[in-house]
Amino acid sequence: MRSAHVIPLLLLCACPAACKSERAAETRKEPSAMAPQLSGRIPRQMRNCPSGVPSAKTVATPTADGVNLTITSDNPAARRRIVALAQMHATWGEPIWAMPYHTGMHGGPGTIGLCPIIHAKTIVTQREIPEGVLIHVRSEIPGMESRLQELTKLRVNALEPPSS
C-alpha cells in the first residue's frame, strides 16, 4: 500500500525542473493553440520512432481525416525494425501524461519532439508494405486535420539533413 504512494513521487522527482515547467505550460494549452516545438533533447535518438531508424525515408501525405506516413528503407534489416516500431506505435494510444518527456516511455502531450507520429488526440494505424510501412494518423478532433498535417510535415522536414 505504501509503495503506491511512493511511485508517483519518484516519477515526479525523476523529471528535471525544466521538464516540469514545460509540462505545466503545455498541459494548460488547448490542442489548437499548441505551437510546434521541434526541440527536444532526443537523448534516446528517437529509438522508438520508425523514422529514426538509420536509412529510413519518411514521406507525409495529407488525407481527408489526417495524414499518411510512408516510411521505407532499402535495407532489409532496417525495414524489419521500421515495421516493428510502427506496430508498437499502432498499439500505444494517447501519451501517458504522468511519464517524463523524452524517456522513450510515451510521455508528454505530443507537442514536442521530432517523431512525425503524433499520438495526442489521434488514432494511429499501420500496415506493412513491401518497402516498409504505411502509417495512418487520424485526428480525433473534428477540424484539426490540417493542423495535424502541418505539424507532421514540420517534423518530417526536420528529419531531412540540411541541403549543401
Q: What is the pLDDT of residues 93-133, one digit of tens each?
A: 766 666 666 555 555 655 567 889 888 888 999 999 999 99
**pLDDT of the residue at 16:** 42
Give the β-pairing of 122-129 and 57-63.
Answer: unpaired
Is the confidence at residue 64, as pLDDT, over 60? yes
pLDDT of 7 reads 42
User: What is the rounded average pLDDT of the residues 141-159?
Assistant: 92
Residues 39-67: what's their mean pLDDT?
83
Answer with the residue of higher pLDDT: 145 or 34.
145
User: Do residues 108 and 39 touch, judged by C-beta distance below 8 A?
Assistant: no
Three cell numbers at 110? 505530443
Contact 126, 135 (CB under 8 A): yes
pTM of the complete model: 0.69
Looking at residue 96, what is its pLDDT? 66
Task: Give residue 158's pLDDT.
Answer: 86
Selection from 9-23, 42-56, 88-102, 122-136 with the highest mean pLDDT: 122-136
Q: Round to whole Å and give the CA distance between 19 and 107.
A: 11
Task: Please list the alpha-helical segments (H only) found in 15-159.
Answer: 17-27, 76-92, 145-159
pLDDT at 58 exceeding the cut of 90 = yes
pLDDT at 149 over 90: yes
- The distance of Cα 116 from the centroid of its chain, to the nearest Å, equals 6
